[in-house]
Amino acid sequence: MTARETEYELVLGMEVHAELLTESKMFCSCSAAFGGAPNSHCCPVCLGLPGSLPTINRRAVEFVVRTALALNCEISLHSIFYRKNYYYPDLPKGYQISQYGPAAIGTGGYLDIEVGGAVKRVHIRRVHLEEDTGKLFHVPGGKSHVDYNRAGVPLMEIVTETPPDMNSADEARDYLTRLRAILVTLCVCDGKMEEGSMRCEANMSIRPIGSAGLGVKTELKNINSFRTVYRGIEYEFQRQREIVESGGRVVQETRRWDEARGATAPMRAKEVEEEYRYFPEPDLRPLDLDPEWIDEIRRTLPELPAQRKRRYIEQLHLPSYDAGVLTSSPAMSRFFDTAVDLYPEGSKVVSNWLMGDFSRLLNEDGIEINESPVTPSMLVEMIKLIQSGIISSRSGKEVFEEMHRTGQPPDAIVKAKGVTQIGDESAIEALADQILSANPDVVEKFRSGKEGVIGFLVGQLMKASQGRANPEMAQRALRSRLSKD
């Protein structure tokens, strides 16, 4: 077999960094809030000045335990912080305090993903706690500025198991979507990839399908949106395939996604772990966790997306596909839950609106459901207007779009637009007479056996009523007239 005929598969693992939503930083009492005047959230501890001593943020530990439990990890009751030494201008101490290898709070977990109806278990190697770096700003004139407000903000790292379980860009995107839903549900991270509070790095290699070995991997950084995850991974998969197929060798390196070029570009040769000269942080005692505290955290975990999905399927009898889409975003499932509370017998129709027109409009605007002025009660009110025959479902789509654009309640839109459905028998019969006398040739066709033309006549009637006639009544009125004589 020549190389060209070999089919390759992608082997992909992921590291996710999530900024934790604590009030204060990881090892000092400075504010961990996003933004602020440059270098206004700093103190001797997060600047690493001589003589300063770090103390561990209990809330940050709790957030990592919460996440590790939600990801089915073992919790280490005894864990250690290390110094990861490297020099970079955004790292004022010259080292990052991090957890290293098996000394992490959470180990050996998993997250189930679902792509194309197939469930796959992605194993998680560890969930650990560390601190963020500051930010560099490169300004015109070849100068750079540094802001240490972010230096020392609690950062959680979630690393998938080696050898990696994922084999496609679709799987990677689904993993990230579900992980984000968990973090947001747990209120430990806001999950905003565009703002950098959730960042991911993918390591990727390829191998001939069916072979068990692992190829040389590259690491992809600078992925800052869900769209980029997919594009970046697809690009890198293609790039590696082309190298191997033309007889070359993939070089182990870190590459970054270049959004402007729509391509990955080399960044630097990968440091090997030893170069960080890890050693236990001498200013911190080992972290010993009380098993009762862990149990309490476990007991008070909120309903997680996977449990919610099961509830939608088992109790609300939603199709698995609907349940998966609705639980992929916590804001979406919160909206759905509230709407179903208001209209318990309408779960499927609410789900249809959320997955159909509503999702389409949200995608067009690039916003989340909680950023639309449409509330659960407005949606339910509109669905009830359709179901009681006051407006047609076609007008419903129009009313919905208007609600989304203006935030006006549905009844006001219906009044203003005059889209009330014509459900008055005599009005529809008058329209039917009008349509039949205007189309004698079509009536002739119907009577000679071509009953399919009824669709055309109904369409004409709907048009004459500006879409407001009740379509079933229109159909009935036309048929009864055509079958007479």
Interacting residues toward Zn ion by CB under 5 A: 28, 30, 43, 45-46
Q: What's the DSSP call for residue 197?
A: S
131 binds, among Zn ion, Mn ion, none (CB under 5 to 8 A by kind): none
Count the Cβ atoms, other than its own, within 10 Å of residue 134. 22
Query: What is the per-residue burial (b if ≥16 Cβ within 10 Å, else e) of 359-372?
Result: eebbeeeeeebeeb
* Cβ nearer to Zn ion, comparing 46 with 482: 46
Check: CB of residue 98 under 8 Å from CB of residue 128.
yes
* Cβ nearer to Mn ion, comparing 93 with 309: 93
- Cis before 163? omega within 30: yes
* Cβ nearer to Zn ion, comparing 11 with 46: 46
Min. distance of Cβ 15 from Mn ion in angstroms?
7
* Cβ nearer to Zn ion, comparing 45 with 339: 45
Helix (H) or strand (E) holding 268: strand 263-268
30 binds, among Zn ion, Mn ion, none (CB under 5 to 8 A by kind): Zn ion
* Cβ nearer to Zn ion, comparing 89 with 262: 89
The one-letter amino acid code at 468 reads R
CA of 155: how far to CAs of 131, 138, 339, 343, 447, in Å? 5, 24, 35, 41, 75
String marking each residue 147-176 x if it binds Mn ion according to CB under 5 A: ----------x-------------------
Min. distance of Cβ 41 from Zn ion in angstroms?
7
Min. distance of Cβ 38 from Zn ion in angstroms?
14
157 binds, among Zn ion, Mn ion, none (CB under 5 to 8 A by kind): Mn ion
28 binds, among Mn ion, Zn ion, none (CB under 5 to 8 A by kind): Zn ion
* Cβ nearer to Mn ion, comparing 57 with 351: 57
Distance CA 391, CA 383 (A): 9
19 binds Mn ion (CB under 5 A): no
Residue with nearest beta carbon to Mn ion: 157
Min. distance of Cβ 35 from Zn ion in angstroms?
16
Min. distance of Cβ 28 from Zn ion in angstroms?
3
Distance CA 182, CA 165 (A): 19
* Cβ nearer to Mn ion, comparing 176 with 435: 176
Min. distance of Cβ 25 from Zn ion in angstroms?
5
Min. distance of Cβ 216 from Zn ion in angstroms?
41
Min. distance of Cβ 237 from Mn ion in angstroms?
24
43 binds, among Mn ion, Zn ion, none (CB under 5 to 8 A by kind): Zn ion
* Cβ nearer to Zn ion, comparing 46 with 382: 46
DSSP for 330-343? HHHHHHHHHHHHH-
The one-letter amino acid code at 272 reads V
Q: What's the DSSP call for residue 289?
A: -
Nearest to 205 by CA among 10, 14, 15, 13: 10
Helix (H) or strand (E) holding 472: helix 471-483
65 binds, among Mn ion, Zn ion, none (CB under 5 to 8 A by kind): none
The count of residues interacting with Mn ion (CB under 5 A) is 1
442: left (phi over 0), alpha (psi -120 to 50) or beta: alpha
Q: Which residues bind Mn ion (CB under 5 A)?
A: 157
